[in-house]
Amino acid sequence: MSDLFMLVDSDGDVISRGLTYGGAQALRDEWLAKYAGSGGGVTLLIKPNEPITDVPPVRVHFQTFPTHVENRAIGLPVIADGAERDHLRECFARRSEARDVLDLAADAAKRGKAHYSDCLAEVVRLRAADEAEVAAAGATLATRFKAGASASLEPNLRTGRHALLDAEARCDAARKAAALLNSEVSAAEDALATAEQAVERSVDALIHADLQYMLAELKQLWQKIVPLKLTIDGARYVGFPPGVDALAVLQPPELPPNAGARYVGQLANYRKALLQNADAAFADQPEKVIA
């Protein structure tokens, strides 16, 4: 028979196991003193220690399996540790240059389009004038024929046809110029899209580096917490059973179901801020997601 005992309440719930009889008495007295004024009629019993036959699963307040719809940590640019923000600033500079190039290209294309429209309008005007002059010359010629005249019009009929041909040539040149300028706008838009993507990837690399730092910190904390917890919990076997306060500390903290929502919001806002400012800090971000 084991020389160890356990402390249970009137509902059969185990308060502590593996205690000496004196340790169980001390723990019972501490609990009774703590809840003496509650009026709850607490009853604590000292019973022979029983082995744990069914260990309940440990409750955790975080997901242990991925439920993400995307993974921004894939395909990140290779950046030296600690140089993430400098790399992001360089991406900002290239994005700014790409925007300037696009603005210049768009302005030139706008002027080219306006010039082409003017040339096209001039062609329409001259073509209408040419058609009117040709029609008038035809009417004059018909009148002469009806009058019995055999003499034809002067050999050089001037209807503005040369001006129309020149205008059409200028219009064709303007159309070619507009097409060329539009292609440069498309190229500038593609370059800006590439620069924007580089900024996003650089931001993701920075956030990933921050998370890796947090992960390293958490690992160090666990390396400290686990030995402390095991030592305090195991002290009962050498005559130092955990008291009420110790038992409360040894339990996982009770968190509300949406306890992590504030950090999700902060992280989302952090990414949005980094897309515009390389000096943005996670701690400065609001908890609610900014639209």
pTM over 0.75: no
55-79 mean pLDDT: 63
In this prediction, residue 238 carries a pLDDT of: 83
In this prediction, residue 86 carries a pLDDT of: 96
66-79 mean pLDDT: 76
Q: Higher pLDDT residue, 208 or 154?
A: 208
pLDDT in tens, 170-205: 999 999 999 999 999 999 999 999 999 999 999 999
In this prediction, residue 171 carries a pLDDT of: 95
Is the confidence at residue 57, as pLDDT, over 60?
no
In this prediction, residue 18 carries a pLDDT of: 75
Is the confidence at residue 19, as pLDDT, over 80?
no
pLDDT in tens, 97-151: 999 999 999 999 999 999 999 999 999 999 888 888 888 878 877 887 788 776 5
Q: Higher pLDDT residue, 236 or 152?
A: 236
SS3 of the chain:
CCCCEEEEECCCCEEEEEECHHHHHHHHHHHHHHCHHHCCCCCEEEEECCCCCCCCCCCCCCCCCCCCCCCCCCCCCCCCCCCHHHHHHHHHHHHHHHHHHHHHHHHHHHHHHHHHHHHHHHHHHHHHHHHHHHHHHHHHHHHHHHCCCCCCCCCCCCCCHHHHHHHHHHHHHHHHHHHHHHHHHHHHHHHHHHHHHHHHHHHHHHHHHHHHHHHHHHHHHHHHHHHHHHHHHHHHHHCCCCCHHHHHHHCCCCCCCCCCHHHHHHHHHHHHHHCCCCCCCHHHCCCCCCC
Q: Higher pLDDT residue, 20 or 86?
A: 86
Is the confidence at residue 253, as pLDDT, over 70?
yes
Average pLDDT, the chain: 84
